[in-house]
Amino acid sequence: MEVIVGKYAGFCPGVMNSVTKAQEAVDKYEELYCLGELIHNKTVVTELEEKGMKTVDDINEVPNNSVVIFRAHGVKESIYEDAKNRNLSVIDLTCAIVKNIHEKVSSAKSDSFIIITGDNLHPETIGTKDFAGNNSFVVSVEEDIEKAYEEFIKSNLNKIYVISQTTFSLKKFEELVSLIKNKFNEYEIEINNSICKATELRQKEVEELSKNVDCVIVVGGKNSSNTKKLYDISIKNCNLVFHIERINEVNKDDFININKIAIVAGASTPKNIIEEVKEYFEK
């Protein structure tokens, strides 16, 4: 069996920074909290929790005067003020690209209606929308554009600023932008393709790999947006695709008569897990 591992599989720079800094922090502080999952990978989060980091879903679960990590996906703007008021020491591990998006929408909201393409339930998008303010709308599918238009008319603004969740599908972003331009054609529109370059390269690579193999193994968290996108791309081009978090989810009987296999992985998947999967299939 020929095994091909995607060139762009695994940690992106933002995730690498977050994990490295979190590991340093958990060794330094006796009591450490993380607001939300640091990254969308259970293995990484569990390892940090076993060392003492406590993951919480609400800032109010963090005791006053404690140390708290803000995860890679970022948090709402209001959370920063909450942390300050409660004298929390913040280790802000928000991805640099996400922080840049927060700055962009904060600046644009004074005179523009902001449309965010992405999953409205994703923590990154929730945070970005909070920074964008009331005159903003999350567009996930074509049907959302009409609702966005209605909210735009209510805002009495004349400009539209379009930005994206960093891990959104590039193809979907381009499709939605085309529809948005058509719907808002009477108004000034600024488009910012803020999809992470690593995400874009990974998606393009998987598009090609999945067309030329018998099977694709997508390795990464089941709750990882960018990993799910890789699965969605693969399943369109290849008949046999598996999304796994660890190698113990694999059944060897599924791979009889498979000659060529591609292993790809999301931005939150550690290198050692990718190697584990690679070694299994090489043997």
Q: Higher pLDDT residue, 12 or 5?
A: 5
The model's pLDDT over 124-137, given as tens digits with 9 standing for 90+, comes to: 999 999 999 999 99
Q: What are the backbone dihedrals phi and psi of residue 107, each rounded to the nearest 5 degrees, phi first?
A: -75, -40
Q: Strand pairing partners for 90?
A: 68
105 three-class SS: helix
Pairing of strands 67-70, 89-92: parallel
Q: What is the pTM of this model?
A: 0.86
Residue 283 has pLDDT above 90, yes or no: no
Going by pLDDT thresholds of 50, 70 and 90, the confidence category of residue 14 is confident
Residue 229 has pLDDT above 90, yes or no: yes
Which pLDDT value is given to residue 17?
93
Going by pLDDT thresholds of 50, 70 and 90, the confidence category of residue 140 is very high
Annotation says 124 is catalytic? yes
% of the chain exceeding 90 in pLDDT? 89
**What's the Cα-to-Cα distance from 106 to each of 32, 76, 99, 135, rounded to whole Å?**
30, 12, 11, 11
The model's pLDDT over 196-209, given as tens digits with 9 standing for 90+, comes to: 998 899 999 999 99
The model's pLDDT over 80-101, given as tens digits with 9 standing for 90+, comes to: 999 999 999 999 999 999 999 9
The C-alpha atoms of residue 232 and residue 226 are separated, in whole angstroms, by 10
The model's pLDDT over 32-74, given as tens digits with 9 standing for 90+, comes to: 999 999 998 989 999 999 999 999 999 999 999 999 999 999 9
Contact 166, 193 (CB under 8 A): no
Catalytic position from the list 124, 143, 245, 275: 124
Which pLDDT value is given to residue 223?
87
The C-alpha atoms of residue 72 and residue 147 are separated, in whole angstroms, by 30
Of 176, 155, 152, 154, the C-alpha closest to 164 is 176
